Structure formats: structure tokens, C-alpha cells
Chain A
Amino acid sequence: MRDFTLALAGAARLLAQGDPELWQIIRLSLAVTLSATLVATLVGAPLGALLAIARFPGRRVIVVVLNGFMGLPPVVVGLGVYLLLSRSGPLGALGILFTAKAMVIAQSLLITPIIASLMRQVVEDAWSEYREQLVSLGASAWRSGFTLLWDTRYSLVTALLAGFGRAAAEVGAVMIVGGNIANYTRVMTTAIALQTSMGDLPLALALGCVLIAIIIGINAIAYGVRNWAQRHYR
């Protein structure tokens, strides 16, 4: 208990002082995870809409696999990206293993299925309501897809934040492909793992508090956006 109290006091001091190492780690974490969320949204949302609207052989298989991939173990994704990017791997020539870019790739792969699956469900529900009207107005399948994505934009926020939360909290993938290099690829989760094992509990705890605060903050925003949209648009 004394350890915990001391660690908490230390964490508070670090946060209050604006410790540069702490802020560097937080900044990189946010940059990596936000980039990954952006990439995953740009790929996952249209993919979800496509799966909701288009009918083609193998669609069900893709839907089931995608749903399963929502629970991909981060270390396995990390391993896969590691193999791709390692010097002898197919993308080894890029030379981006152990950089923030590799971490963005790994997290994007991790959360694209989450965003795609959630959006497929949302767009599919909207499509069953809108289909006749959109066909009646002469909207093409593509146009319908983007119209549906736009009309479900507030649910998209929820899907996007589910992805963001997952990416921000994972440690396995970024550890493997980033390498947890100080001031370069060290993010909140990998730093917490390392500091804890080294016994630097105040820094680990400070980072933990910030991580939780960010995730709660993001979810509060999502909740607010949805409520507002519900009142404003039905």
C-alpha cells in the first residue's frame, strides 16, 4: 500500500511538473493511434458499407472472418507485421521496422476489422430502411454507399472511437514492431510495461492515469455526440 501511495504521489508530481519524457511519450502515443484510427476509418468504413450493400459470392465468409478479426490478438498482428517488414520480409526494403510508421501499420491492421464490422452492421440497418427510396431516386450503388455512410456518420464516430480505444490500449503489436525505443518508438503502453518491470512505478502509474483519462474523455465525447445527434437528426 505504501508503494502505491508513493507511486501515486510521484505520478502526480510528474504530471504537475510537465515532465518532458512523459509528454514525449504521450504525444507519440496519440500521434500513432490517431494516425492508425484515420487509416483504419478510411479503409474500414467504406469496406463496411460495401459489405452491407453489395451482394457477391463469398460475402458471408468475409463478414464472419471480419467479425472474428475484431478480437485479433495484438501480438499476433505485431508478429505478422514484423515478418512483413523485417529485413528479409517482402516489405523489408522499406526499412521501417522499429519506427512509428510500423506501429501505425500494425495498429491500423488491428482496428480496421473493428471499424469495418461495426459500420457494416450500422449501414446494413440503414440500407434496409433507405434501399427502396434510394433506388427510387436513381442512386447508384456507390452513391448509395456514401449516402448511407454520411447518414450514419454519428454511429461512425462510435465505431471510430471503439477502434481508437483498442489501439490506444494495446501493447503487444507496438512492442514487437516498434521496439520500445526511448524518445523514438516508446508509447504509453510499452513504457508502462517497461517502467513497471524496472520498478519505476511513478512514471508507469502517471502514464496509466493519463491513458485512462484519455480513453474516458474520448468516450465521453462519443456519448455526447451520439446524444446530440439523436436529438437533432433522429
Chain B
Amino acid sequence: MSGGAILPLRLDGIRYEAGGNVILRGIDATFGAGTRTIILGANGAGKSVLLRICHGLIVPTAGSVRWANGEARPRAQAMAFQRPVLLRRSVLANIEYALGLAGVAGTARREQAAAALARVGLSAIGTRSARVLSGGEQQRVALARAWALRPSILFLDEPTASLDPAAARNIESIVQAIHAAGTKIVMTTHNLALARRLADDILFLHDGAVVEAAAAGEFFSRPRTPLARAFIEGELS
């Protein structure tokens, strides 16, 4: 489950329509190993749908999602949602559930779940009921669960958008740690400050199309398009 064998992930001409609306109009992109890619864009740009297509939750109307190892949906990937969905059981049992689905059993499962919880600093609440935790704690549990799976690539859909600043900083540092441990990060946000702190590469979407794909430093200092410039200056949102 480790190594970059499934990366790069290549998107080719991804198009998505729902209920007569065109959400994505032909996205080409490559997500290579190692970097933190931030998908930026205003609300309604199609960021979340793109992420779900990458992760295999939505089938695109046209175009292809190709993993380097040729699998349709490799297991070595995970996703964290804006609103974490935890099961009605203990925090540890939530992580063990995910490990169980990934084929980890017995003592190894318990140990890996406990270790994952320790990495996000929540060892003390392993036996508590997951859904009564605060939003920030629930998101940390969701990240621990994703991290426990040792994914090669982790998709995050606005993981801090519904959290207070302190909880958001906490999540941000966990994402950094997951990346430092060798996982490719692909995260959507419309939060510019967050993107500046985290991004290696930027994929800037507007109205269902890629407007710019660039290294983060270049994107923020010398945006090539008026739309990107407007977004950075806070005029789009």
C-alpha cells in the first residue's frame, strides 16, 4: 500500500453534467507524487465534484481518470470531507472499521488504529463516542482514519471550512504531517491564506474549467490570467 506506484494520476478531458448543468467542461490535469496540490476556485467552480471524480465517488460524463498502475480505483487513496462522517461507535472503533475494510485484522488493526489516533493527538479520547465530539475533533478523527490507511494520495474537500480558526490550524498541521510522512495531498479550498501556506502547486478552476495550473509561488506572485489575478485580489468568491 505504499510507494508512489499509483501516481501520477492523470485526468483527461473530464466532463461532468448533472440535471442539464455542465459542472466540469473538459478538465486535463496530472497529480504527481510528493507535492501538495491545492485546487483553488470560487464556490461553484466545480472543485468538490472534481475531487470526487478523482476519488472515484462520481463517474464523469466523459473523459478518463487514469492511475499509473492501471487500476480503476486503487485502494491506496483516501478522502476527508468537509463534514466528517463518523459511525455511531467509539473513536477507535471508527478507525478500526476503516482498517478492517482495508483488510487489516486482529492485533495489527488495534495497534494501527491506536497509533493513528496518537498521531493526531487524540489518544485520550479513543473510547469516547465519535459523534458527540466537537467538529474539530471529529475532523481530526476523520484524518486519523484516512491516515491509518497509509494512502499514497489523500483528497481533502475543504476540510477546515466549517471549523473555528484554532481547530482549522490544528487540521492544517495534521495535513502537513501526513504530507511529510509521504502522502500526496490534493485539497480544495477557497481560502487563499490556507492555500499560500500549504500549496506546492495550484490548480485554479473557474466555472468548470482549469484556468491556471502552476507552481504556487508563481501563481501567487505572477498570475497569468485576469481571472486568477482577480481571485487572488479577493474579487472573486
User: When the two chains form their complex, are residues B132 and A137 in contact, meaning their CB atoms are under 8 A apart?
Assistant: no
Q: How many A-B pairs with Cβ below 8 Å?
A: 43
Q: Which residues of A contact B35 (CB under 8 A)?
A: none
User: When the two chains form their complex, are residues B88 and A132 in contact, meaning their CB atoms are under 8 A apart?
Assistant: no
Q: Which residues of A contact B52 (CB under 8 A)?
A: 132
Residue of A nearest to B131 (CB): A234
Task: Specify which of A132, A138, A232, A234 is in contact with B102 (CB 8 Å cutoff).
Answer: A138
Instruction: Name the interface size band of chain A.
Output: 10 to 19
Q: Which residues of B contact A153 (CB under 8 A)?
A: 88
Residues 130-163 of A at the B interface (beta carbon under 8 Å): 130, 132-133, 135-139, 143, 147, 150-151, 153
In the complex, whether B230 has a CB less than 8 A from a CB of chain A is no
Task: Specify which of A129, A136, A150 is in contact with B57 (CB 8 Å cutoff).
Answer: A136
Q: How far is the CA of A116 from the CA of B132 in the complex (A)?
A: 29
Q: How far is the CA of A138 from the CA of B99 in the complex (A)?
A: 10
Q: How far is the CA of A153 from the CA of B89 in the complex (A)?
A: 11
Instruction: Give the Cβ gap from B205 to chain A, nearest Cβ, in Å.
Output: 20
Q: Which residues of B contact A135 (CB under 8 A)?
A: 56-57
A136-B132 in contact given A129-B85, A143-B101, A147-B87 (Cβ < 8 Å): no
Task: Specify which of B88, B89, B98, B129 is in contact with A137 (CB 8 Å cutoff).
Answer: B98
User: When the two chains form their complex, are residues B78 and A233 in contact, meaning their CB atoms are under 8 A apart?
Assistant: no
Chain B 146-168: CB-based contact to A (< 8 A → 1; otherwise 0): 00000000000000000000000
Q: How far is the CA of A153 from the CA of B88 in the complex (A)?
A: 9
Q: How far is the CA of A205 from the CA of B130 in the complex (A)?
A: 49
In the complex, whether B75 has a CB less than 8 A from a CB of chain A is yes
Q: Which residues of A contact B129 (CB under 8 A)?
A: 232-234
Chain B 54-68: CB-based contact to A (< 8 A → 1; otherwise 0): 011100000000000
Task: Specify which of B56, B75, B85 is in contact with A133 (CB 8 Å cutoff).
Answer: B85
User: When the two chains form their complex, are residues B81 and A137 in contact, meaning their CB atoms are under 8 A apart?
Assistant: no
In the complex, whether B79 has a CB less than 8 A from a CB of chain A is yes
Q: Which residues of A contact B132 (CB under 8 A)?
A: 231-234
Task: Specify which of B57, B78, B85 is in contact with A130 (CB 8 Å cutoff).
Answer: B85
Instruction: Give the Cβ gap from B80 to chain A, nearest Cβ, in Å.
Output: 9
Q: Which residues of A contact B56 (CB under 8 A)?
A: 135
Q: How far is the CA of A86 from the CA of B189 in the complex (A)?
A: 68
Q: How many residues of B contact A (CB 8 A)?
A: 19
Q: Which residues of A contact B131 (CB under 8 A)?
A: 233-234
Q: Which residues of B contact A234 (CB under 8 A)?
A: 88, 129, 131-132
Instruction: Give the Cβ gap from A138 to chain B, nearest Cβ, in Å.
Output: 5
Q: Which of B55, B75, B88, B102 has the most CB of A within 10 A?
A: B88
Q: How far is the CA of A113 from the CA of B101 in the complex (A)?
A: 32
Q: Which residues of A contact B101 (CB under 8 A)?
A: 137-139, 143
Instruction: Give the Cβ gap from A20 to chain B, nearest Cβ, in Å.
Output: 45
Instruction: Give the Cβ gap from A230 to chain B, nearest Cβ, in Å.
Output: 10
Instruction: Give the Cβ gap from B214 to chain A, nearest Cβ, in Å.
Output: 29
Residue of A nearest to B52 (CB): A132
Instruction: Give the Cβ gap from B144 to chain A, nearest Cβ, in Å.
Output: 13
Q: How far is the CA of A138 from the CA of B71 in the complex (A)?
A: 14
Task: Specify which of A133, A147, A150, A231 is in contact with B81 (CB 8 Å cutoff).
Answer: A133
Residues 71-101 of B at the A interface (beta carbon under 8 Å): 75, 78-79, 81, 85, 87-89, 97-98, 101
Instruction: Give the Cβ gap from B130 to chain A, nearest Cβ, in Å.
Output: 8
Q: Which residues of A contact B57 (CB under 8 A)?
A: 132, 135-136
Instruction: Give the Cβ gap from B159 to chain A, nearest Cβ, in Å.
Output: 13
> With A151-B89, A233-B131 given, can you name 20 additional A-B contacts, CB distance below 8 Å?
A130-B85, A132-B57, A132-B79, A132-B81, A132-B85, A135-B56, A135-B57, A136-B57, A137-B97, A137-B98, A139-B101, A147-B97, A150-B88, A151-B88, A153-B88, A233-B88, A233-B129, A233-B132, A234-B129, A234-B131
CB-defined A-B contacts under 8 Å, sample of 13: A130-B87, A132-B57, A132-B81, A133-B81, A135-B57, A136-B78, A138-B101, A138-B102, A139-B101, A143-B101, A150-B88, A151-B89, A233-B131
